[in-house]
Amino acid sequence: MARLPLSIQAIESSCCVNVPHNKKRRAYSIWMWVLTFFIYCSYHLSRKPISVVKNVLNQNCTDLTPPVPNPNNSHWCDWKPFDKDNSATLLGMVDSSFLFAYAIGMFISGFIAERMDLRIFLSVGMIFSGVFCAMFGLGKSFGIHQLWFYILAQILCGLMQTTGWPGVVTALGNWYGKGNRGLIFGIWNSHTSLGNILGTLIAAAFVSNQWSLSFIIPGIIIGSVGIITLFFMVPLPEMVGLPNPNASYEESPTVSYVGKEKEEEIKSQEPVEKETAIGFMSALKIPGVIEFSLCLFFAKLVSYTFLYWLPNYILNNTPYSPEESANLSTFFDVGGIAGGILAGVLSDKTGMSASTCIVMLIVAIPMMFVYQAFCAVSLGLNIFLLLVVGLLVNGPYALITTAVSADLGTHECLKGNAKALATVTAIIDGTGSIGAAVGPLIAGPISEAGWDYVFYMLMFSDLLALMLLLRLGLHEMNNWWMERRRRRDTLLSP
* Residues 80-100: tens digit of each pLDDT: 887 777 777 788 788 778 888
Does 71 fall in a domain?
Answer: no
Do residues 476 and 407 touch, judged by C-beta distance below 8 A?
Answer: no
- At 249 the pLDDT is 46
pLDDT reading at 304 higher than 80: yes
Top mean pLDDT of 19-23, 159-163, 310-314 is at 159-163
What would the mean pLDDT of 448-470 be, rounded to a whole number?
92
With a pLDDT cut of 90, the percent of the chain lying above it is: 32
What would the mean pLDDT of 341-354 be, rounded to a whole number?
87
pLDDT reading at 264 higher than 70: no
CA distance 435 to 302: 8
**pLDDT for 422-434, tens place per residue?**
778 788 888 888 8
Three-class HEC string of the chain: CCCCCHHHHHHHHHHCCCCCHHHHHHHHHHHHHHHHHHHHHHHHHCCCHHHHHHHHHCCCHHHCCCCCCCCCCCCCCCCCCCCCCCHHHHHHHHHHHHHHHHHHHHHHHHHHHCCCCHHHHHHHHHHHHHHHHHHHHHHHHCCCCCHHHHHHHHHHHHHHHCCHHHHHHHHHHCCCCCCCHHHHHHHHCHHHHHHHHHHHHHHHHHCCCCCCHHHHHHHHHHHHHHHHHHHHCCCCHHHHCCCCCCCCEEEEEECCEECCEECCCEEEEEECCCCCCCCHHHHHCCCCHHHHHHHHHHHHHHHHHHHHHHHHHHHHHCCCCHHHHHHHHHHHHHHHHHHHHHHHHHHHHHCCHHHHHHHHHHHHHHHHHHHHHHCCCCHHHHHHHHHHHHHHHHHHHHHHHHHHHHHHHCCHHHCCCCCCHHHHHHHHHHHHHHHHHHHHHHHHHHHHHCHHHHHHHHHHHHHHHHHHCHHHHHHHHHHHHHHHHHHHHHHHCC
Does 24 fall in a domain?
Answer: no
Q: Which domain holds residue 179?
A: 42-61+86-241+279-485
**pLDDT for 132-182, tens place per residue?**
999 999 998 888 889 899 999 999 999 999 999 889 988 888 887 665 666
- At 67 the pLDDT is 41
Does 1 fall in a domain?
Answer: no
What would the mean pLDDT of 348-359 be, rounded to a whole number?
90
Among 237-246, 287-296, 362-371, the range scoring the smallest mean pLDDT is 237-246
Does 260 fall in a domain?
Answer: no
In this predicted model, which residue has the larger pLDDT, 253 or 468? 468
Do residues 239 and 28 touch, judged by C-beta distance below 8 A?
Answer: no
Does 19 fall in a domain?
Answer: no
As a whole number, the mean pLDDT across the chain is: 81
pLDDT reading at 323 higher than 80: no
Domain count, the chain: 1
Does 322 fall in a domain?
Answer: yes
pLDDT reading at 217 higher than 80: yes
Does 113 fall in a domain?
Answer: yes
Does 258 fall in a domain?
Answer: no
CATH of the domain at 406: 1.20.1250.20
